[in-house]
Structure 1
Amino acid sequence: MDSTLNAAAATAAGETTALKSSQSLDDLIEEHILPRLDPEFLEYFANTQARAAAQSGEGPSYPSIQDVRAHPEQYRAPCALDTAGYPGVTDLACPSQDGSSIPVRIYHPDGVTHGTGPFPVHLNFHGGGFVLGDLETEATLCLNMREAGVVVVDVDYRLCPENTWGKCIQDGWDVLRWVRESASQLNINPTSVSIGGISAGGHICLVLQHMARDAGIPLKLCMASVTPATRGLSYTYYTDSPFPSFHEFHRGPVLPWARIKYFGRLCMPPEKLPELQNLWPSWWFEPLEAPNWHNLCDTFIRTAEVDPLRDEGEAYAMKLVAGGNKVTLKRYLGCPHTFMYIDSMKRKHEYDRDAIVALRTAHGLG
């Protein structure tokens, strides 16, 4: 293997793509995984393999949380963007039930194209393993989603380890209620609300989906992507998972088992797990264990084919179906975890278009 894809990947792609590579891809990606990956992801991965290889190592290869907090610019998602001050973008703060303040960034759609409102509203919860992420992480995705003609509220929920896991869900709940109560200030329609998130953020919105149903708060849509079951953060080893994809891709190029354990040590260290389990309902850790699957809002579940969390997200969708709910499930072939952060992939742009269509349909915008 030199500066081109190996034969298996080239065959899968139907072409040979030139790569800037100091190491061969088959040194970095396991043989059974490589042919299944989208060639555009492979090119991206080869061009950034020094960082990717470091993130695929065992624990010592990961930076300390102190370093991450001191130099956040070095660890941002590839799609991150500082949109503060952009036209139609406003920063506000939502009061939390425990006296804290939750930063939110509000994206209003263009008035020339979409009218003067009031608009439907969509709450976004970013990914990052409950440890990483801020209002820059998914800003480009929020800019895209407002093109549906909805106001997008991006939520900077509290992260671990500085905060106890579960505060993220409380923050999500507080923002959901605050948005509905602040309809006039935000120029939104409080009866047309949707929620969504990626990875850890997807987990948050799945829990909120059940909480909203129980509280009588109607939601138009829950749009969750590459969603984990948080119980995996407390596994001793990857074989503890009952899901085949967790085993098959435990050494995948984006979210390997070592990365999951890194997040787990920061969110749910073994010595604190009993305390955490006493603080929150058990199904908050594992939404698949939620006690009631009836009368939930419409749901759009999106998974990535080459993702250890794929089967968990699809199992959640099947539980919704069994509960009599309306569900759309889409698996993006050839894609790893958080592929939607990579602008050079056509599948990422397909993901963006799917989000706009889903939001317009859910909110009755045509």
Structure 2
Amino acid sequence: MSSPATTYPWNDPEIRKHYHPKLIEMYEENEYAQYLAEHPVDVEGLSEIEKLRKNVAARFNYSTLKGHKYPVEELKDEIDISDSTITSYDGFEIPIKIYKHKTRTDTDSLHINYHGGGFSLGGGLTFDTNNLILLCAKTGVTIIDVDYRLVPEHHYTVSFLDGFAVFKYISEHPEKFGINRNKISVGGASAGGKLSSTVGHLARDFNLPLKLVIANVPPGEDYSKHPDMKTVILNENFIKFNGDPGNTYSTVRFFEHFIVLGQTENPTEITDNLDKIEAYFGRIDFLEPLQKYHQGDLYLSPNFQGLASHAIITAENDVLGSAGLGYAKKLIDNLIPVQVKTIKGLGHGWSNQGGIFKEAEEGLFYLAKLLKDVENDEIF
């Protein structure tokens, strides 16, 4: 059953222009709710975050089981997928999944993917599997997917330290991956986009080569400090598209709840490991700006000089669209080479809708082109 039309932003004819008609139809018919009603998820006795993770896993299955043909089924046999780990600062073995093309052995570039999920979902390397198969098959580029630790089980800063630890290790040991350390890109969607941009800042601070940052629908601020979206700096899309079923300001605040919970429940997870952090990374001065700006108000980071080239991808009706565009403007103002692409008619989850919308499939092929550009030293 449809929700009342008045709850939807496209009830305004001027806003409706920003929506793909099929997306409106899917939302109004509430296909996801119908699917979950037909395939209930057993969440009895689970915590709030465990329930959420189970339901999200069901949603990703839903996109295939509803009969939408994702454009990678015939490509899976071209890819070798293996599991490994990279040791983090405290001895934790960060799981990684390595995607290699079976026949393309001449490529020497590598892309590191950080999954989305509000830093609380997406563990187990399940979010981006189909997309990474597609990208690897179409480009031949080796891809590493990173299973960084999540909130609320861990302090928020741990996610960023794990993400940077993987990049740093690969950059300093390129021979172990058969790559050229000057041809590394990082990227991810949503939380993964924010983590990727933060790795961009840290790579510069540590003087490690990074060719390209691909930030897809990234958040830009610490929304836990803003109970009212009107006080958010980059809030135009929040106000314009709030009420969109794909993402709302309430959803963003909901994920921030788990981020804050991870910090309050693990208050000493970072402070008790300062010696290990300094020993692993060779310095400790990066920790303060990381915690003060990069993991929170990334948009307000004080130093944008000398960053790697960026590709910022936004979605037309995503409430986080203004955050991505605002971050791109800060980069441009600091003379950082930037490409900005907006996925027309779609919202925050566009990159997992490749089997439904041609606009999403075209966006995935844009990602593939970026990876090829890194390989060919043709970055803008």
TM over 0.5: yes
Tell me the TM-score normalized by structure 1. 0.82
Superposed displacement of residue 72, structure 1: 6.3
Structure 2 gaps of 5+ residues are 37-46, 65-71, 272-286
Q: Any gaps of 5 or more consecutive residues in structure 1?
A: 1-21, 55-62
What residue number does 2:84 align with? 92
3-state SS of paired residue (1:319): helix
CA distance in 2, matches of 1:52, 1:289: 41
1:246-275 superposed Cα distances (whole Å, 9 cap, x missing partner): 2222221211122112111111249949x6
Contact 1:68 1:75 in 2 (8 A): no
Structure 1 residues 69 and 307: CA distance shift in structure 2, 3 A: closer
**Which residue pairs with 2:149 in the alignment?**
158
Aligned residues: CA RMSD: 3.1
Q: How does 1:28-107 map to 2 (within 5 A)?
A: 29-30=8-9, 31-32=11-12, 33-46=15-28, 48-51=30-33, 64-69=48-53, 73-76=57-60, 87-107=79-99
| Pair 1:213 & 2:182 matched | no
The TM-score normalised by the length of structure 2 is 0.79
2:316 counterpart of 1:305: yes
Cα distance between partner residues in 1 of 2:140 and 2:262: 45
Q: Check 1:334–1:218 CA distance in 2 against 1; reply closer, same or farther (3 A cut).
A: same
2:187 to 196, 216, 238: 196
Shift of 1:214: 1.2
User: Aligned equivalents of 1:252 and 1:44: distance in 2?
Assistant: 12
Q: Secondary structure at the match of 1:334?
A: coil
2:154 and 2:262 in contact (8 A); partners too: no
The answer as to 2:126 corresponding to 1:136 is: yes
1:301-342 deviation digits (Å, cap 9, x = unpaired): 010111111111111111111111111011122111111111
**Residues 228 and 313 in structure 1, CA contact (< 8 A), matched pair in contact too:** yes
Q: Work out whether 1:352 is the aligned partner of 2:341.
A: no
- Secondary structure of the 1:189 match is coil
Secondary structure in 2 aligned to 1:303? strand
In the other structure, the counterpart of 2:172 is 181
Letter in 1 for 2:329: M
Q: 1:155 to 1:78 in 2, by over 3 A?
A: farther
**1:238 is matched by which residue type in structure 2?**
M
Q: Secondary structure at the match of 2:153?
A: coil
Query: What's the offset of the Cα at 1:187?
Result: 2.1
- The answer (yes or no) to whether the contact 1:118–1:189 under 8 Å persists in 2 is no
CA distance in 2 between partners of 1:118 and 1:199 (Å)? 28
Give the match's secondary structure for 1:219.
coil
Deviations 1:201-226 (A, max 9, x none): 00001111011011111111101111
Identity %: 26
Greater displacement, 295-304 / 247-256: 247-256
Match of 2:345 in 1: 334
Q: Report how far residue 238 of structure 1 moved.
A: 2.0
- Closer/same/farther in 2, CA of residues 77 and 316 from structure 1, 3 Å limit: farther
What is the deviation of 1:101? 1.2
Query: Which of 228, 241, 247 is 2:239 aligned to?
Result: 247
Residues 103, 220 of structure 1: alpha-carbon distance in 2 compared, 3 angstrom cutoff: same
CA distance in 2, matches of 1:249, 1:177: 38
CA contact (8 A) 2:316 2:343 kept: yes
Aligned residues: 334
Paired amino acid for 2:360: K
1:122 aligns with 2:117: no
CA–CA distance in structure 2, aligned partners of residues 120 and 318 of structure 1: 28
